Amino acid sequence: MTGGATVTGEGRTREPRDAVRARLVDVAVHLLRDRGPDAVTTRAVAAAAGVQAPTIYRLFGDKDGLLDAVAERAADDFVAAKAQAARAEAHRGADPVKDLRAAFWAQVEFGVANPEVFRLLGDPARVLRSGAAQAGRAVLQARVHRVALTGRLRVPEGRCVDMVQSAGTGVVQTLLATPVPDRDPHLVGAMWDALVAAVLVDGAGSADGSGAAEPTASATFVAFRALAPQLPGLTGAERALLVDWLARAETAAVQD
């Protein structure tokens, strides 16, 4: 054994399976970004990686399995950057609404800058089986939770997460489907403003953070529910019951 590699009977060093797999994904990522999905064939990837085509089938099953790995790699890289930024934001006590706005912009910018990767990640079947996609949603959930704790969120946290993801995905799809010269440069900002009007209390989403939030019953219930699991002096059962009560009150307040 040499550095994780094995030596064959002929004295040749065989590269570790994980290293070959990583190299194939690297090659496929570059082909996808530079030349589009049609260039990501098993023959082209194998040739560029210096392996035989059957190696791809052994490691990924088929071309679709390779594309799954490519999508996961791209999502992993993007989510890792988002998670690091979110930790830094929470640590320095940055304004949660400004952070959510920045994350929304980053989602759109990534999709527009990486159209082929975005299309892979936008496949619902891939999203359902993607650990990176679930991790990315968890980062967004944490950001929304911080907004809820401030009393500025008028809708349930889960609905806000869905709306932010839906709005961002919709903007990217619209921009990618529009010739570059014809793209509306104000579309992202307009969509954010519409999102703010739907999920935040008045004044909470101004770009400079200067807007004064006006408390509402729904925002109060959302904030209290977000805080409930952290309340001291309660048993686990009591916290669960309180959260259930607040969930009902939150739903009623949002529907009014």
| pLDDT at site 89 | 63
Tokens of 143: 């950001």
- Would residue 183 count as lying in a domain? yes
Alpha helix (H) residue ranges in 93-186: 96-113, 115-121, 124-128, 131-149, 157-176
CA distance 187 to 189: 5
- Would residue 255 count as lying in a domain? no
Residues 89 and 209 in one domain: yes
- Would residue 92 count as lying in a domain? yes
Tokens of 25: 């994904």
For 2, list phi and psi in degrees, rounded to 5: -130, 105
- Would residue 235 count as lying in a domain? no
* Boundaries of domain holding 153: 74-215
pTM listed for this prediction: 0.71
- Would residue 221 count as lying in a domain? no
Nearest alpha-carbon partner for 18 in 69, 74, 75, 79: 69
- Would residue 241 count as lying in a domain? no
Single-letter amino acid, residue 149:
L
State the CATH number of the domain containing residue 127: 1.10.357
- Would residue 68 count as lying in a domain? no
| pLDDT at site 8 | 41
What digits encode the pLDDT tens for the residues 54-99?
Answer: 999 999 988 888 888 887 887 777 777 766 766 766 666 678 999 9
Tokens of 186: 């104000």
| pLDDT at site 9 | 43
| pLDDT at site 237 | 81
Residue found by looking up tokens 């009014």 in the block: 256
78, 137 in Cβ contact below 8 A? no
| pLDDT at site 216 | 65
**Mean per-residue pLDDT pooled into runs of 10, the chain (256 residues):** 44 72 90 83 91 91 84 77 68 82 91 84 78 84 92 91 95 96 97 95 55 60 74 77 71 62
State the CATH number of the domain containing residue 38: 1.10.10.60
Residues 127 and 168 in one domain: yes
| pLDDT at site 210 | 43
Residues 83 and 14 in one domain: no
Residue 105 vs residues 97, 142, 151, 256: alpha-carbon distances, Å:
12, 17, 23, 31
Sign of CA dihedral 127, 128, 133, 139: positive
Residues 102 and 56 in one domain: no
Hey, what long-range contacts does 24-29 have (CB within 8 A, 24 or more apart)? 24/49, 24/51, 24/55, 24/56, 24/59, 24/60, 24/66, 24/69, 25/66, 25/69, 25/70, 25/73, 28/66, 28/67, 28/69, 28/70, 29/70, 29/73, 29/74
- Would residue 254 count as lying in a domain? no
Residues 126 and 192 in one domain: yes
